[in-house]
Structures are given as C-alpha cells and as structure tokens.
Amino acid sequence: MVDRTIAVTAWESLFRAQVAVMRSLAANFPSKEISLNEYDVMFNLSRQPDRRIRLRDLNQHVLLTQPSVSRLVDRLVSRGYLHKHIDPADGRGAIIELTDAGLALFRRVAVAHMGSITERIGESLTQAELVQLAVLCDKLRIDCPSERYEDSIPEA
C-alpha cells in the first residue's frame, strides 16, 4: 500500500510542475497568429481522422470549459482555420474540421512550439529522464490510452 502523504506530495509536485511549465510555454508561445489555447484545439483536430471531430468530443480533449471552446472555435472559423458543420447524425450538434489553411498554420507553429518545449524541459531533464517522465505520465493516464506521447508528434 502506498503512503498517502507520499502520493499527495507527488501529485502536488506533478501539478505544480505542469502549471509552471505551461505558464512558461504560454508566455513564450511562438505565434502572434494564434494563442496557445487555439493551438491546442488545432493540435487535437490534427490528430483526428479527416481532421474532424464533434464539438462535444473536442471538449474532452482540451483544458477549457465548453463555452470557452465554443467561442474559441467560432473565432477560428471566422479566420478560416476551421469549418463548422451541422452534425448529420444529430442536428443539435456540430462537427469541427481543421481547414487546409488551419493545418498549414498549425504545422508552422508546431515546429517552433516543439523547439520551445524542448528548450524548456530539455534544460532541466536529461534524455533518459524525459523518456522516464513520458512513461510515468502515460501510466497515470490509464483512462486515456490513445493519448500517448508518441501519438502527439505532428508530421512536418
């Protein structure tokens, strides 16, 4: 049986590290065209078959509330980076699709963002520690086996 104090201390350390890294990455996000949250939506769409997903399902992949995601999607639609379609299976729902222009922008930003990530965490951890960190984080995401880090690397 794991000691509860150690488990809580580990969770708090993980949580605070994630917040610190995310704040650093947001402050140094390499794009003036899209925000980190917009990038996150485009990242998740880029991983979907045909770059499409139900808006309701997209909400499960991002760290924003449903109303925030809806507003963000509408902004990206107005700028031509996403299309929004009525869900043919449920007229009340919407299908969100990453456009070719959105994919091109996402890929440009992804290359620079990957450099920022590498710089931010590569300064603190060795290659072996990074591999260990990925394995440990994957173990913690038992409920989301399709969310493995190997699957998150965008194609150039």
pLDDT at 90: 83
CATH of the domain at 76: 1.10.10.10
What is the rounded distance in angstroms from the CA atom of residue 66 to the CA atom of residue 118? 30
What is the residue range of 141's domain? 4-152
Q: What φ, ψ does residue 86 adopt, rounded to 5°? A: -70, 135
What is the rounded distance in angstroms from the CA atom of residue 36 to the CA atom of residue 152? 16
Closest CA to 105 of 24, 41, 149: 41
Sheet containing 94-98: which strands, arranged edge to edge? 52-54, 94-98, 82-86
| Number of domains into which the chain is organized | 1
Closest CA to 76 of 51, 99, 53, 104: 99
pLDDT at 150: 46
Alpha-helix runs per DSSP H in the chain: 4-27, 36-46, 55-58, 66-78, 100-122, 127-140
- For residue 37, what are the CA distances in angstroms to 132, 134, 142? 27, 22, 24
8, two tokens: 């809580």
pLDDT at 143: 56
pLDDT at 154: 47
pLDDT at 15: 93
Per-residue tens of pLDDT for the chain, all 156 residues: 889 999 999 999 999 999 999 999 999 899 999 999 999 999 999 999 999 999 988 988 887 777 788 899 999 999 999 999 998 888 888 999 999 999 999 999 999 999 999 999 988 999 999 999 999 988 888 755 454 444 444 444
